[in-house]
Structure 1
Amino acid sequence: MLILFGFKTAVKELFRRQTVCPNCGQNASQRIDERASKFTVFFIPVFTTSRRYSRTCAYCGITSELSRSEKNALA
């Protein structure tokens, strides 16, 4: 019997916020994304194994990791 399993990463934009970038210091739009790794069986997502959050500055383009509490503070 053959069972196909693996992992899939899904990226979803949660929201955008106008804040000061920690890298360039400009007041620019910051895109907050969520990366969720999901365990799959026969290419169907079964459950989420991890979630990571990141912030991307629209002015300088740098991407930095966020913790869940930092993401909640920006929301």
Structure 2
Amino acid sequence: MGAARSDRCAHRHGRSAGGAAAPRGRFPAEADPPLLILLIFGSGIRESLLNVVYFVCGYCQVQAPQNVIKRSHRFTLFFLPLFTFSTRYVNQCTNCGAETALTAEQAQHSLTWSAGRR
């Protein structure tokens, strides 16, 4: 009777009959708890003004300052930019707001042209 009572008591207090502690917790000993990962990712656009040149706009036909803009599309992880995956250059008229796509060579040429005019 004494051995049976001690087994019941040990079982109630989380110990096996040998005296070692039995595993406790929500999950069985052979199953690992699920791994939960929260990733916050996205993309963002960064614009930088490279140059301002003066010439006649192709849309409004007015001689006005034209902004040469570099647009970089960046991949972000936890709101931190990791790498740039797309870069585009545009020419934006300050009078009408029309935009014209430029190549990287054209944007670089506007910088060398305006540096030579100073």
Q: What range describes the TM-score normalised by the shorter chain of this pair?
A: 0.7 to 0.9
Once superposed, what is the RMSD of the aligned Cα atoms? 1.5
Structure possessing the higher relative contact order (Cα contacts under 8 Å, 6 or more residues apart): 1
Deviating runs (4+, > 4 A) in structure 1?
Answer: none
Aligned length: 75
- Consecutive unaligned residues of structure 2, counting only runs of 5 or more, are 1-36, 112-118
The TM-score with structure 2 as length reference comes to 0.57
Equivalent-residue separation in structure 2 for 1:5 and 1:60 (angstroms): 35
- Consecutive unaligned residues of structure 1, counting only runs of 5 or more, are none
More helix by share: 2
1:20-68 per-residue CA deviation (whole Å, 9 max, x = no partner) reads 3233443321111111100111000011111111111123331111111
More strand by share: 1
Q: Percent identity?
A: 32
The TM-score with structure 1 as length reference comes to 0.84
Letter in 2 for 1:67: T
